[in-house]
């Protein structure tokens, strides 16, 4: 059995790259907005009049967007990281299997998870993108909710985020499993 493990560096360069960029784009504006609010709260007699600056409207728009965008980007990045960490990608007995954490609902007694389990019947094509491996194949998809399995359905396409170590081995797997039509 070949098990692909979540790797933080691979995630940061692949699937998480866009989220990391959003965090770093919004960070200076968030710090500026925080400092302006702190200055106005701690020292109300200080008048910060930025209206006579040539780009004051742009700074105001950027700090307002950053005040919302920075925490949002952090939460989204953290959420997708958890989804990738909790998902399992493996080749077991010559069959590609991918257990995807789709949703985690918090309750008073803990949390309830929803998984989609994909089992490859036949892989026809693997397309490598910047954030995903798009697998065109015949997959048997099973939804598991509260430990109960729903009947399987056949799906023709699946996306695997680039977040696992040695994912290039999937290309080797796809090469010897291609259906010669």
> In this predicted model, what pLDDT tens digit does every residue of 125-150 receive, in sequence order?
888 888 888 888 889 999 998 778 88
Cβ density class 42-53: b for 16+ within 10 Å, e for less: eeeeeeeeeeee
Give the residue with greater pLDDT, 158 vs 56. Answer: 158
Task: Return the structure tokens found at 93.
Answer: 């007995």
Most confident of 45-54, 70-79, 162-171: 70-79
pLDDT classification of 172: cutoffs 50, 70, 90: confident
At 47, give phi and psi (nearest 5°). Answer: -105, 110
pTM of this prediction exceeds 0.85: no
Paired residues of 69 in beta bridges: none
DSSP string, 113-160: EEEEEEEEEEEEEEEE-SSEEEEEEEEEEEEEETTEEPPPEEEEEEEE
Report CA torsion sign: 103, 105, 110, 112: negative
What's residue 95's pLDDT? 84
Task: Give the tens place of pLDDT for each residue, 12-27.
Answer: 888 899 999 999 999 9
- Cα-based angle 128, 133, 137 (whole degrees, multiple of 5): 105
Q: From residue 120, give the alpha-carbon distance in Å to each of 24, 89, 138, 144.
A: 38, 12, 6, 17
Non-local (6+) Cβ contacts of 149 within 8 A are: 142, 143
Q: Across the chain, which distance is largest between two alpha carbons, in Å? A: 77
pLDDT above 70 for 117:
yes
Which DSSP letter does residue 48 get? -
Task: Output the average pLDDT for the chain.
Answer: 85
């Amino acid at each position: 059995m070949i098990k692909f493990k979540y790797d933080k560096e691979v995630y940061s360069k692949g699937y998480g790259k866009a989220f990391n960029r959003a965090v770093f784009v919004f960070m200076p504006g968030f710090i500026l907005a925080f400092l302006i609010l702190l200055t106005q709260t701690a020292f109300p007699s200080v008048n910060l009049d930025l209206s006579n600056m040539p780009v004051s409207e742009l700074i105001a728009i950027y700090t307002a967007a950053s005040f919302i965008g920075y925490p949002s980007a952090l939460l989204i990045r953290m959420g997708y990281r958890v989804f990738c960490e909790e998902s399992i990608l493996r080749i077991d007995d010559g069959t590609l299997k991918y257990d995807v954490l789709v949703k985690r609902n918090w309750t008073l007694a803990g949390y309830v998870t929803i998984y989609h389990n994909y089992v490859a019947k036949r892989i026809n094509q693997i397309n490598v993108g910047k954030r995903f491996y798009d697998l065109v194949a015949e997959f048997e998809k099973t939804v598991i909710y509260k430990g109960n399995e729903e009947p399987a359905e056949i799906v023709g396409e699946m996306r695997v985020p680039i977040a696992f170590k040695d994912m290039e081995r999937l290309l080797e797997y796809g090469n010897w499993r291609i259906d010669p039509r």
